[in-house]
């Protein structure tokens, strides 16, 4: 399990620059992922062999200055509830502002690790100025320069040392697949699960899951056993406004990271909103299987919008990853609920499938021969061999003489061909080109 680290502080102190530095370090290790990482506020980072998830509270604030204070306060309270450690960022140029003092007051009551990062310290003079941050009453501080990264190493050393040990997931003989139901508040997550469980004699146990307070329900249907994870009940704090976009995303992070298939419920009467997109890209970024359920379809005026139009609108928002099952359901009338589960099971199987190397070459090489990558600067790219990597999620590698000349449009072409031939519906795919 990963720890969650939240970066808090008022606007314009450099949270996003620091956040980008953290997650790029991580992305440089794995490989850049094709497509757009739309949701810039969540990423994975790694330091000294320890992996953790980072949440930047900065990008969520909208509105004028007078709303800032209440919003920041709310985000800090949320970070205190949900994160395992907090980096509180301040700006040496401005010194301690009233808003910083306010945030510090909230943080002083907390027993979790809190690290003060004093940003924009890029010379000895500013190093001296930073001393005033002792007055925040939060102990030691770390000086950094977000732009060039100096000081980041010491801060991260202290951070990974301070992170609590996470319990290892208990390795079971044959762990059951986990299907996680996520979505914005009031999309009908609980009704969906209650409808399934209510009419069903097969429920075995309720066990508290690893996601804090998320409930795992062991479920047996279609001769298939799995855990159904309900995130609806996770930590609903009265003092946190339910409509705060950051809140749903933050609460979904842990649940998504530890599931196999994500069932994203959206409210048909509201459409596919920003928050639904954030959760979708979070699942995509974690390489999970995804099924989208449009709930409350019984409440939509059918003459204004057919399922085809509605589905087309959603797929437009999902570009470039559009190969995702979308089902129209009603938790209230129990319409198509079992179909939804069957689809989740199919997506789980798709994500697990392995294609033999000989079969894969037989299928893909003729396609590549007919439509090779476009020549660049008079150089021709030749692809002679390809295979599926032995990874938990589908990843494919194509060996070429000049892999650096293969651009994104061609990668997408290969992915589309692959999806047409093999069933990877609902499953993100990674495609790499390597030197042969």
Detail the residues annotated as belonging to a binding site for GTP: 9-16, 56-60, 119-122, 183-190, 230-234, 295-298
What is the radius of gyration, based on Cα positions, of the chain? 24
Q: Are 326 and 315 in contact (CB under 8 A)?
A: yes
Per the DSSP assignment, residues forming a β-bridge with 224 are 221
78/99 Cα distance (integer angstroms): 17
Sheet with 114-119: list strands edge to edge.
Answer: 42-47, 50-56, 3-8, 85-91, 114-119, 141-143
DSSP-derived 3-state class of residue 435: strand
d(CA 8, CA 356): 48
The distance from CA 129 to its chain's CA centroid, rounded to whole angstroms, is 38
Angstrom CA distances, 304 to 5, 272, 300, 312, 331, stand at 44, 16, 8, 14, 22
Check: CB of residue 234 under 8 Å from CB of residue 251: yes
Distance (Å, whole) CA 46 – CA 337: 39
Annotated binding site: 9-16, 56-60, 119-122, 183-190, 230-234, 295-298
Question: DSSP states of 90-157 as a string?
Answer: EETTT-S-HHHHHHHHHHTT--S-EEEEEE---SHHHHHHGGGGGGGSS--EEE-BTTTTBTHHHHHH
Nearest Cα to Cα of residue 387 among 366, 414, 412, 356: 356
- Helix or strand (DSSP H, E) at 88: strand 85-91
- Which residues, in sequence order, are CB contacts of 21 under 8 Å at separation 6+? 146, 149, 152
């Amino acid at each position: 399990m990963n720890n969650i680290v939240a970066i808090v502080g008022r606007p314009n102190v450099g949270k996003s620059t620091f956040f980008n530095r953290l997650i790029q370090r991580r992305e440089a290790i794995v490989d850049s992922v094709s497509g757009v990482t739309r949701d810039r506020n969540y990423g994975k980072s790694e330091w000294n062999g320890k992996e953790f998830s980072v949440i930047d509270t900065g990008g969520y604030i909208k509105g004028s200055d007078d709303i800032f204070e209440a919003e920041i306060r709310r985000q800090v309270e949320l970070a205190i509830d949900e994160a395992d450690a907090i980096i509180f960022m301040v700006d040496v140029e401005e010194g301690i502002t009233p808003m910083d003092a306010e945030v510090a007051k909230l943080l002083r009551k907390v027993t979790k690790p809190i690290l003060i990062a004093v940003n924009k310290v890029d010379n000895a003079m500013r190093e001296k100025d930073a001393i005033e941050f002792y007055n925040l009453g939060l102990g030691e501080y770390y000086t950094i320069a977000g732009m060039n990264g100096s000081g980041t190493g010491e801060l991260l050393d202290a951070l990974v040392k301070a992170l609590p040990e996470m319990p290892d997931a208990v390795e079971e003989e044959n762990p059951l697949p986990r299907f996680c139901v996520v979505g914005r508040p009031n999309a009908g997550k609980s009704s969906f699960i209650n409808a399934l469980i209510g009419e069903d004699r097969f429920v075995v146990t309720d066990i508290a899951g690893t996601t804090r307070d998320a409930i795992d329900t062991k479920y047996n249907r279609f001769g298939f056993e799995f855990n159904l994870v309900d995130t609806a009940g996770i930590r609903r704090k009265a003092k946190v406004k339910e409509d705060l976009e950051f809140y749903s995303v933050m609460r979904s992070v842990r649940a998504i990271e530890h599931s196999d298939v994500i069932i994203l419920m959206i409210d048909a009467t509201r459409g596919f909103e920003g928050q639904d997109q954030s959760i979708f890209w979070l699942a995509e970024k974690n390489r999970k299987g995804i099924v989208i359920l449009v709930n409350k379809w019984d409440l939509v005026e059918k003459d204004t919008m057919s399922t085809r139009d509605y589905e087309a609108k959603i797929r437009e928002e999902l570009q470039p990853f559009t190969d995702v099952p979308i089902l129209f359901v009603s938790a209230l009338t129990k319409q198509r609920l079992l179909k939804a589960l069957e689809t989740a099971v199919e997506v789980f199987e798709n994500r697990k499938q392995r294609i033999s190397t000989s079969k894969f070459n037989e299928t893909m090489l003729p396609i590549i021969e007919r439509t090779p990558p476009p020549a660049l600067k008079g150089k021709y790219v030749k692809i002679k061999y390809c295979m599926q990597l032995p990874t938990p999620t589908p990843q494919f590698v194509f060996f070429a003489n000049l892999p650096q000349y293969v651009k994104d449009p061609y990668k997408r072409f290969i992915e589309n061909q692959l999806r047409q031939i093999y069933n990877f519906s609902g499953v993100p795919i990674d495609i790499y080109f390597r030197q042969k």
